[in-house]
Amino acid sequence: AQKVTQAQTEISVVEKEDVTLDCVYETRDTTYYLFWYKQPPSGELVFLIRRNSFDEQNEISGRYSWNFQKSTSSFNFTITASQVVDSAVYFCALRIQGAQKLVFGQGTRLTINP
């Protein structure tokens, strides 16, 4: 069975600080996909990134970066120079090859204070 763990339930930082959201996953499959979604206060889910298990390159998109390490089964998400608009719940998710559904972590509620 697959499992995604986001150990940080809530994080609160002051604007402009860097913050890292942790994600640890479990699967016996060798081919899988990892995702991050953002859920702002309005409630919708916004896709941020997908990474497949064969691509361990880190990715940077503006102030967002992702660190994928198969050795530790982790897919951590860092926001640099955080802004109030980054306040949201962030979900990490896993999908194995051949399956259609995503398995989500519990989410991390990030609050950026001005």
Is the CB of 11 or the CB of 102 nearer to another protein? 102
Strands 103-104 and 46-52: unpaired
Contact criterion met (CB below 8 Å) for 99 and 27: no
Contacting residue, 21, 23, 37, 76, with another protein by CB under 8 A: 37
* CB contact set of 54 (below 8 Å; sequence gap of 6+): 31
Q: Which of 28, 61, 100, 114 binds another protein (CB under 8 A)?
A: 100
Span near another protein by CB under 8 A; candidates 20-28, 60-68, 75-83, 104-112? 104-112
Q: Is the dihedral of CA 25, 26, 30, 32 positive or negative?
A: negative
According to CB under 8 A, which one of 35, 68, 75, 77 is a site residue for another protein? 35
On whether the CB atoms of residues 49 and 36 are closer than 8 A, the answer is yes
Q: Is 88 in the site for another protein (CB under 8 A)?
A: no
**One residue of 16, 50, 63, 70 binding another protein per CB under 8 A:** 50
By CB under 8 A, name the one of 28, 41, 42, 57 that touches another protein.
42
Tracing tokens 């986001």 back to the chain, one arrives at: 6
Is residue 5 within 8 A of residue 74, CB to CB? The reply is no
* Binding positions for another protein, rule: CB under 8 A: 6, 33, 35, 37, 42-45, 47, 50, 52, 91, 95, 100-107
